[in-house]
C-alpha cells in the first residue's frame, strides 16, 4: 500500500472514531440540553483560558528541559530552545496523524542539533514510558483517595469491561495469540541469523542499538534529581492548567483538587484514545464531572473548552516553532572563517 494512502487511512480511521463519539453524545440531546451547552459556551470566562495556556507552555518547556537531560548521557547537549521547538512541532504533527509527532520531533532535533535520530527515538520511548508510569500512579492515587466516587466509575467503566474482554477471549484464542507471537519471534530470529551480513540486517541492528542506547540513557543520567524534579513539575503544571480551567465556568469553579486529579487522569486517557483526543476527551471529562454533581451538558461544554484551549495552544506555538527553528539556528550558526584567517 502506498505510504500516502496508508497515512490518509490512518487519519480517517482515528478521526472517524472521534467524530462517531461526538455523534453518539449529541444525537439524543434534547433542544433544552443543546441550549444548555450553548449557554455554557456563551457564559464562559474565556479570559481565564489565557493563564491556563501560559501554564501549558511552561509544561512543554519543562518537558523540553527534561528531554535534554535524557539526551546528555549520549554525548550531546542540544539547546533547550531547539528541544522546545521540536517538542511543539511534534505535538502539532500529532494533530495531523497519530504518533507522527514522536517521529517528527526526533527528526527535527536530529537535523538542527546533528544528533543520530535512532538514539533520539530511544530517549523518546524512555520518556513516554516514564509518563505512562506517572499516569498509572495518578490513576491509582485518584482512585485510592476517593474510592467512593471515582472507584466505582473506574471499576464499572474500565476494569470490568477489560476483564470481560479477557474472559471472552477464551483459552483457545489466548493460546493462538501466544503461538502467533512465538512464531513471529522464531521467524525474526532465523531471518537475522540467515541474513546476518546483509545490508538490511546491519542497518536494522544499528537502529536497534541506537534505540536501546537512548532508552538506557535514563540509567546513565548524572542529574537524576533534576529529571525527577522536571517530571513532577510537568504533571503539576498539567494539574494547574486544568484547575485554572475550572474557573472558566461558574458551575465548575467550586470543584477542588480531587476533581482536578480525576479529570486529569481520565482526560489523559481520552487524549491517547483518538486523534488529538477529539471526541474521547470531551466524553471522558463529561462523565468524570458528572461524578461530582456537574450536569452532563455543562461537563460536555467544559470538555470542549479545555480541548479547544489545548489544541489552539499546540497549533499556534507549533506553527511558530516551525517558523522560528530555521531563523534561530541560522542566527546562532557560527560564520565560516575568512580566507585570510585560514592562511594564518
Whether the CA torsion 259, 284, 7, 204 is positive or negative: it is positive
Q: Is 233 exposed, middle or buried (0-12, 13-18, 19+ CB in 10 A)?
A: middle
pLDDT at 323: 87
Q: For residues 267 and 300, what is the distance between their CA atoms, to the nearest angstrom? A: 12
Check residues 334 and 183 and name the one with the higher pLDDT.
183
pLDDT at 65: 93
Enumerate long-range contacts of 3-7, CB under 8 Å, 24 or more apart. 7/97
Residues 206-232 have a mean pLDDT of 68
| Cβ-based neighbours of 183, under 8 Å, separated by 6 or more | none
Least confident of 17-26, 139-148, 302-311: 17-26
Q: For residues 243 and 252, what is the distance between their CA atoms, to the nearest angstrom? A: 10
| Confidence tier at 341 by pLDDT (50, 70, 90) | very low
Other Cβ atoms within 10 Å of 188 Cβ, number: 11
101-123: pLDDT as tens digits = 777 888 888 888 888 887 788 78
Residue bearing cell 500529532: 94
Q: What is the mean pLDDT of the chain?
A: 75
Q: For residues 150 and 136, what is the distance between their CA atoms, to the nearest angstrom? A: 14
Percent of the chain predicted with pLDDT > 90: 12
Q: Are 296 and 284 in contact (CB under 8 A)?
A: no
Residues 260-286 have a mean pLDDT of 80
Residues 258-285 have a mean pLDDT of 81
261 closest CA partner among 156, 124, 153, 159: 153
Instruction: Please indicate, yes or no, whether the overall pTM of this predicted structure exceeds 0.75.
Output: no
| Confidence tier at 169 by pLDDT (50, 70, 90) | low
| Confidence tier at 209 by pLDDT (50, 70, 90) | low
The count of residues in the chain is 344
Amino acid at each position: 500500500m502506498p505510504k500516502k494512502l496508508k497515512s490518509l487511512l490512518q487519519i480517517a480511521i482515528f478521526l472517524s472514531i472521534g467524530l462517531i463519539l461526538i455523534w453518539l453524545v449529541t444525537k439524543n440531546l434534547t433542544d433544552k440540553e443543546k441550549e444548555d451547552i450553548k449557554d455554557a459556551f456563551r457564559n464562559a470566562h474565556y479570559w481565564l483560558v489565557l493563564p491556563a495556556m501560559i501554564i501549558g507552555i511552561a509544561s512543554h518547556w519543562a518537558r523540553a528541559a527534561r528531554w535534554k537531560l535524557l539526551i546528555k548521557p549520549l554525548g550531546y547537549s542540544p539547546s533547550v530552545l531547539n528541544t522546545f521547538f521540536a517538542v511543539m512541532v511534534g505535538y502539532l504533527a500529532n494533530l495531523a496523524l497519530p504518533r507522527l509527532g514522536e517521529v517528527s520531533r526526533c527528526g527535527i532535533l536530529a537535523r538542527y542539533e546533528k544528533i543520530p535520530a535512532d538514539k533520539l527515538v530511544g530517549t523518546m520511548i524512555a520518556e513516554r514510558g516514564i509518563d505512562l508510569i506517572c499516569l498509572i500512579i495518578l490513576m491509582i492515587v485518584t482512585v485510592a483517595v476517593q474510592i467512593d466516587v471515582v472507584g466505582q466509575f473506574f471499576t464499572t467503566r474500565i476494569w470490568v469491561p477489560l476483564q470481560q474482554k479477557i474472559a471472552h477471549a477464551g483459552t483457545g484464542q489466548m493460546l493462538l495469540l501466544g503461538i502467533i507471537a512465538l512464531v513471529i519471534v522464531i521467524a525474526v530470529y532465523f531471518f537475522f541469523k540467515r541474513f546476518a551480513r546483509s545490508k538490511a540486517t546491519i542497518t536494522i541492528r544499528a537502529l536497534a542499538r541506537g534505540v536501546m542506547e537512548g532508552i538506557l540513557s535514563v540509567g546513565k543520567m548524572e542529574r537524576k534529581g533534576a529529571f525527577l524534579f522536571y517530571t513532577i513539575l510537568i504533571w503539576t503544571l498539567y494539574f494547574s492548567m486544568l484547575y485554572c480551567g475550572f474557573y472558566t465556568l461558574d458551575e465548575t469553579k467550586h470543584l477542588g483538587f480531587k476533581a482536578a486529579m480525576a479529570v486529569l487522569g481520565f482526560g489523559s486517557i481520552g487524549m491517547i484514545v483518538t486523534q488529538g483526543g477529539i471526541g474521547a476527551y470531551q466524553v471522558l471529562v463529561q462523565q468524570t464531572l458528572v461524578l461530582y454533581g456537574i450536569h452532563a451538558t455543562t461537563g460536555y461544554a467544559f470538555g470542549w473548552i479545555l480541548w479547544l484551549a489545548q489544541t489552539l495552544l499546540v497549533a499556534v506555538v507549533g506553527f511558530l516553532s516551525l517558523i522560528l527553528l530555521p531563523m534561530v539556528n541560522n542566527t546562532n550558526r557560527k560564520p565560516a572563517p575568512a580566507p585570510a584567517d585560514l592562511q594564518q
